[in-house]
Structure 1
Amino acid sequence: MVEQAQGLHRVELIMGTAISIDLSGSIDSVRAAELADAAFAWFREVDARFSTYQDDSEVNRLQRGELSSADASPDLRHVLDECARLWRETDGYFDAYATGRLDPSGYVKGWSVQVASDRLTAAGAPDHCVNAGGDVRVCGRVAGQPWRIGIRHPFEPMQTCWVLAGTDLAVATSGNYERGFHVIDPLTGKPARALASVTVAGSDLGVADAYSTAAVAMGVKGIDWLARLEGYESAVVTEDGLAFRSEGLPVA
């Protein structure tokens, strides 16, 4: 749940989720529409390239051996490199092959939102919010105030656990409350069940997305792992209802 802007607000269903773009500030309405069009075109491009559900996506062609990594697009090579780095950084808990096949979606959604946000800023729209199914990037202000981001309660769909605020903030949440126990512990091959919701906030949404996924895969030891991260804050709700958050979490 994100506070909406007074200006442009658009939502489209892409990548299997609702993606919203809010542009605030004094940007011209025609220019705002053009920027939103470009951002949604980018998300459709990402979906076509990285979807595990589209037979002709680059990811599936690479998985089947029809495409080599050397011949892949620069975006796919970047994603593969980042997934490898994050695998090392998380001691193997963030694993694009956790399900037995290539699925980098635990990084791609956050990364694609980060790219869209960076492009909006570069194009002269510094006050904006991009939200892809709970992976949120906010910049600037809305109605003169920092953006406010509500973190959904995993057991009470109409309630929030925390409300965060920021003018330059990436917030990613992973959990089992919408898609069931879909995060796999790559060390056991079994669904991770101990943490109902993990939120990570920081500067880069692709990294925050991967960190939140990795922490869910770790289970309860992910709470201590998150506390040791530098530059990223976190909040956790366990499957038995306990809640934890780091001291630096930007709570409104």
Structure 2
Amino acid sequence: MGIPMSIDIRDGDAAGSGAADEAADARGWADAAAAAFAVMTEADGRFSSYRDDSELSRVNRGLIHESAYSGDLREVIEIGERFRIASGGAFTVRRPDGALDTDGVVKGWAAARAAGVLRSRGVTDFCLNAGGDVVVGGSPGEGAAWNVGIRSPADPAQMWAVLSVTDCGVATSGAYERGSHILDGRTGLAATGLASVTVLSDDLTTADVLATAVFALGPDGVPWALGQGATGVLALTPAGAALAAGDVPFAR
């Protein structure tokens, strides 16, 4: 997907680095991580708009009829359509020219699936980071919560906030890395009402879609997201004003 990805697995039963490594090997954590990465790799092969051989690219070239869409593509499109309706058209998986663009759904969707693989293999304490879309489970140690940093739109090398979270998904949308790539589906123009949006949800797919939808909606989208599955929303306006709704657990 052209983004950095990492999985941090902790083993609370092991004391000391050597013991932790042995416990991880015994429990198959490396294999679990490999299986989770394989889910992300498969999603990239299916949904990448940069690969000519991906299903998405072939659909957009008219080589695959809707009747032959894979189950995964149908699921992602259905998620996109549900949130298009909920957002009044601000969120969409269609470009202005009608081509499919699933980027607003598929990263969080794939990362959530990868996290499901970890859990199915017995991993309870982990942090999966897919280019800033984060799923955390359990604790990094001693019952503590995981800290998730939010980059400053003014200086992405700095953090403007740090959240303290566990057993949830956190997704951030902004224009400070890829430029004005998030469009307001109602106008087809770049969304400019917010500089950064972070959404917390029990489900990363929901958090990821809502982060993009709120960015497209602008400030009005911050409270709106709470009725769509968000547990907390934190946003910055272009002028640097902070907006928040719901439960936003800042690290102390």
The question of a shared fold, defined as TM-score above 0.5 by the shorter chain, is answered with yes
Equivalent residues in 2 for 1:215-226, closer than 5 Å: 215-226=214-225
Equivalent residues of 1:48, 1:54 under 8 A apart: yes
Paired residue type of 1:61: R
**Helix, strand or coil for the counterpart of 1:162?**
strand
Paired residue type of 1:135: D
Paired residue type of 1:185: D
Cα shift at 1:60? 1.4
Range that drifts further, 16-25 or 99-108: 99-108
Report the equivalent of 2:3: 17
Report the equivalent of 1:251: 250
Question: Which of the two has greater strand per residue?
Answer: 1
TM-score normalised to structure 2 length:
0.89
1:122 pairs with 108, 120, 123, which one?
120
Q: Deviations over 1:11-66 (max 9, x none)?
A: xxxx1100011111145226111111111121111101000111111111122221
**Helix, strand or coil for the counterpart of 2:170?**
strand
Paired residue type of 1:183: I
TM-score normalised to structure 1 length:
0.89
Report the equivalent of 1:134: 132
Q: Which runs of 5+ in 2 are unaligned?
A: 14-22
Equivalent residues in 2 for 1:78-97, closer than 5 Å: 78-97=75-94
Cα shift at 1:156? 2.3
Q: Higher Cα Rg: structure 1 or 2?
A: 2
Indicate how the Cα distance of structure 1 residues 79 and 247 shifts in structure 2: closer, same or farther if over 3 A, else same: closer
Report the equivalent of 1:77: 74
Q: Is the aligned partner of 1:150 residue 2:146? A: no
Q: Is the aligned partner of 1:186 residue 2:178? A: no
Cα distance in structure 2, aligned partners of 1:231 and 1:222:
11
Paired residue type of 2:43: V
Cα shift at 1:169? 1.1
**Helix, strand or coil for the counterpart of 1:112?**
helix
Equivalent residues of 1:208, 1:232 under 8 A apart: no
Which runs of at least 4 in structure 1 moved beyond 6 Å after TM superposition? none
Equivalent residues of 2:231, 2:246 under 8 A apart: no
Indicate how the Cα distance of structure 1 residues 99 and 131 shifts in structure 2: closer, same or farther if over 3 A, else same: farther
Percent identical residues: 41
Equivalent residues in 2 for 1:18-33, closer than 5 Å: 18-25=4-11, 26=13, 27-29=23-25, 31-33=28-30
Aligned length: 238
Q: Which runs of 5+ in 1 are unaligned?
A: 1-14
Indicate how the Cα distance of structure 1 residues 186 and 149 shifts in structure 2: closer, same or farther if over 3 A, else same: same
Aligned alpha-carbon RMSD (Å): 1.6
Cα shift at 1:93? 1.2
Report the equivalent of 1:42: 39
Cα shift at 1:82? 1.1
Cα shift at 1:189? 1.3
Cα distance in structure 1, aligned partners of 2:185 and 2:132:
24
